[in-house]
A and B are shown apart, each in its own frame.
Chain A
């Protein structure tokens, strides 16, 4: 144990003393902060744009304005629904205090010309029109075609499609309203009919006793375990993904430093491997811990500042602490980490240079992308046959077992898959130690397969 600790300590300190570690540590919170600020700034900094509609009357312009109002009302409804979910305390005198954040960024102004040629200098930015946000060029104009069958959308910037989509929805609504009126029906007819439709609320089936106390409503507490399991599986994947370079570079450094002979006259091979694996595990854990604390701190701030945020977060915390997820999660985590870790370490021991290692990175990435796809599929439909089968394939098991846990797979399956993971991990460890020895001690390289295989099965010293 002492030797493992000494190897672990040296490697760990070696990694955390490097500038790259601190940069990586700072990068995620920094990018999250910058990203959030950027998103907020982008939402606020979006300019108010003017548009005009050339039509004989004001029917289409009104329809577009109505569509804007309709969309805004929907956003308002969604915000209020979220406030209900978060159980925000009602504030006296402010029933509509939850407001959709987005303000309308497209404003209709009177058309400064009666045809497209007249509008051209306004649309090209050569002339401006007066509007509520000052004088500006026209961002877009709608021109009714001569046959009246199309409302052409003209703009110098065709990449921003928001206004066009709103107009398209408005035209559909207008067509529907016109058709209803033609049939002698009120324009509210459809809405009234839809309001009378039979609702299909989601209910969670539980045992009679549980249902008595917890009710049947589907709440965040029902959905949180799936999200937590998904997060945990992705976290394991991210951790393995981020250790590749540490394990590869660390092993290459020692191989190029010709230090193995010295080390192996002081420690056993298994102690060397264990110490190195633990060090990299500790490095990535330190990163994850710091990021986790950052996220926890952010959540705590959110919970204290935003009313109701605490009630949103607590089901997730409860799910993360649930033994049903935590225990298989931890076991899968450790076994999966060791299995993947020793593979990368063994491969690193066959490389003399970073260039050589880079040639190995592609197959390693493919190996790692497969579980990522499996995670994605399992998150969408954990009960699918392909996920059930894939969860028996050892490279997928650590991720898929975690993801399946919220869906109560049979106990025998959980135990069998854990056993399979353990056996696979031991087999991989057995081979990896021999590959590592072949590379580190006997100088086998990736292109030196014969020598490597011979090294793998060479008699081991005591």
Chain B
């Protein structure tokens, strides 16, 4: 592939998509900078897939503007993109090798290049022995891997993956995470949608959260966790007044529960304060500490903080479904 331009591979400006009276995406603005891994998060029906389809020009926005590599999406700009749609689909009667070769050729590779690339990808992902197997004879997971490889075959500058982990067992999910890191190391910009927050936590430089067609957050992971009221739990021997001890050091503590062998306190952290700072302050104040547990910040909590419990419940439902499928696949 040709050398990447420094410009943002994708810029959405105030794009809106309506289906009848239903607004699937509402004034979404998004700038995907070059060379980043960006997670597009939200529950099912949040507008992620529609946004990605608009980004690729598959469906036109009703309002707003889409710029893909600095221009309206066209075949030339799309040649630099690898797209994995949410609804997977392959030609069932084609072999794994022919499938990857066909899609790579559609993206501009010569027949020879495409065949070589298909063989290389199938070998490196452990599917070499299935190269001549028809897609209909492959397991669902294998077929999905073939589609992912077809997406990567032309070494795209920009990968758009819509729910790439969906339908994969945990082992293959790990394999896909590695593949995404490899593609990123090669220099590709990656935008992937998911409703499973853990993938985003492990992979992303930046996250964009969607709920009910609207963007509710756009920033780094640190920015996301900054949205939370974070804190730590501290257990001290019975009778010690931790609130009074920490107040002069700028920390606010509240008794949360009495335990058999001591008292449990909850420390609310202010911006700029870390759990370790609170622990250090307690030690300096001479607190008889028996236990310490900093809050484990999760993106899901950020999402709850941003959109409320009702929307988070939809996310939980999607995650539960995902976990059940994973379990079924693993078994």
**Chain A residues packing against B (C-beta within 8 Å):** 3, 6, 10, 14, 17-18, 253-254, 257-268, 441-442, 451, 454, 458-462
Q: A253–B93 Cα gap in the complex (Å)? A: 11
Asked whether B75 is an interface residue with its Cβ less than 8 Å from the other chain, the reply is: yes
List of B residues within 8 angstroms of A267 by Cβ: 75, 106
Min CB distance B257 to A, Å, is 52
Contact with A along B91-109 (1 / 0, CB 8 A): 1111000000011011100
Confirm or deny: B28 has a beta carbon within 8 angstroms of a beta carbon on chain A: no
* Shortest Cβ distance from residue B56 to the other chain A in the assembled complex, whole angstroms: 5
Interface string of B141-157 (1 = CB under 8 A from A): 00000010010000000
The docked-state distance in angstroms from the alpha carbon of A259 to that of B147 is 11
11 A-B pairs within 8 Å (CB atoms) are namely: A10-B94, A17-B93, A259-B91, A261-B58, A262-B89, A265-B78, A265-B83, A268-B75, A442-B59, A451-B20, A459-B60
What 9 pairs between A and B have smallest CB-CB spacing?
Answer: A258-B89, A258-B87, A257-B89, A259-B89, A266-B106, A461-B57, A261-B85, A265-B83, A461-B60
- Whether A3 pairs with B106 at a CB distance below 8 angstroms is yes
B176 within 8 A of A: no
CA distance A462 to B81 in the complex (A): 16
Closest chain-B Cβ to A253's Cβ sits at a distance in Å of: 8
Report B29-73 CB contacts with A as 1/0, cut-off 8 Å.
Answer: 000000000000000000000000100111110100000000011
Interface residues of B in 276-327 (CB under 8 A from A): none
Residue from the list A258, A261, A441, A458 in contact with B83, Cβ < 8 A: A261
A258-B85, A461-B73 known; A264-B58 Cβ under 8 A? yes
Say whether B106 contacts A441, CB under 8 Å. no
Closest to B160 in A: A265
Closest to B151 in A: A262
Contacts of A441 in B (CB 8 A): 58-59
**Complex: A261 Cα to B107 Cα, angstroms:** 14
A261 touches B87 (CB 8 A): yes
Decide if the interface of chain A is mainly helix, strand, loop or mixed. Answer: loop
Q: Which residues of B contact A265 (CB under 8 A)?
A: 56-58, 78, 81, 83
Q: Counting CB contacts under 8 A, is B90 at the interface?
A: yes
Residue contact B75 to A262, C-beta cutoff 8 Å: no
Q: Could you say which of B59, B78, B92, B103 contacts A257, with CB atoms under 8 Å apart?
A: B92
Contact B91 A10 (CB under 8 A): yes
Contact A460 B60 (CB under 8 A): yes
- With contact pairs A6-B105, A267-B75, A462-B72 given, residues A262 and B83 touching in the complex (Cβ less than 8 Å): yes
Chain A residues near B73 (CB-CB < 8 A): 461-462
Residues of B within 8 A of A254 (CB): 89
- Closest Cβ of chain B to A342, distance in Å, is 21
Question: Nearest chain B CB to A223's CB is how many angstroms away?
Answer: 47
Sorting the interface of chain B by its residue count into under 10, 10 to 19, 20 to 34 or 35 or more gives 20 to 34
Cα of A256 to Cα of B62 in the assembled complex, Å: 27
Looking at chain B's contact residues, is the secondary structure mostly helix, strand, loop, or mixed?
A: loop
| Cross-interface CB contact of A266 among B88, B90, B103, cutoff 8 Å | B103
Query: Could you tell me which residues of chain B, from 3 to 27, have a CB within 8 Å of some CB in chain A?
Result: 20
Residue of B nearest to A3 (CB): B106
Q: Is B74 an interface residue (CB 8 A)?
A: yes
CB-CB under 8 A for A462 and B91, given A6-B105, A262-B85, A264-B58:
no
Closest B residue to A18 by beta carbon equals B93
Shortest Cβ distance from residue A246 to the other chain B in the assembled complex, whole angstroms: 14
A22 to chain B, nearest CB (A): 15
Contact of A6 among B20, B60, B74, B102 (CB under 8 A): B102
With both beta carbons as reference points, the residue of chain A lying nearest to B79 in the complex is identified as: A266
A438 to B103 CA separation, bound complex (whole angstroms): 23
Shortest Cβ gap from B304 to chain A (Å): 32
**A459 to B59 alpha-carbon distance, docked (Å):** 9
A260 neighbours in B (Cβ, 8 Å)? 89
Chain A residues lying within 8 Å of B53, measured Cβ to Cβ, are 261
Closest to B62 in A: A459
Taken together as a complex, chains A and B put the C-alpha atoms of A18 and B59 apart, in Å, by: 33
Q: What is the CA–CA distance of A222 and B200 in the complex, to the nearest angstrom?
A: 80
Complexed CA–CA distance, A70 and B58 (Å): 78
Q: Give me 20 other A-B pairs in contact (C-beta within 8 A), A3-B75, A258-B89, A261-B87 excluded.
A: A3-B106, A6-B105, A10-B94, A10-B102, A18-B93, A254-B89, A257-B89, A261-B83, A261-B85, A262-B89, A262-B103, A264-B57, A265-B83, A266-B75, A266-B106, A268-B75, A451-B20, A454-B20, A461-B57, A461-B59
Min C-beta distance of B136 to chain A, whole Å: 11
| Chain B residue with Cβ nearest A271 | B75
Q: Is the CB of B94 within 8 A of A14?
A: yes
Q: Which residues of B contact A259 (CB under 8 A)?
A: 89-91
B37 to chain A, nearest CB (A): 20
| Distance between Cα atoms of A267 and B107 in the complex (Å) | 8
Residue among A17, A258, A264, A459 with most chain B CB within 10 A: A264
The CA of A459 and the CA of B61, in the complex, are separated in Å by 8
Which residue of the partner chain, among B72, B74, B93, contacts A14 with CB atoms under 8 Å?
Answer: B93
Q: Which residues of A contact B105 (CB under 8 A)?
A: 6
A461: chain B residues at CB < 8 Å are: 57-60, 72-73
Asked if B57 and A462 sit within 8 Å, CB to CB, the answer is yes
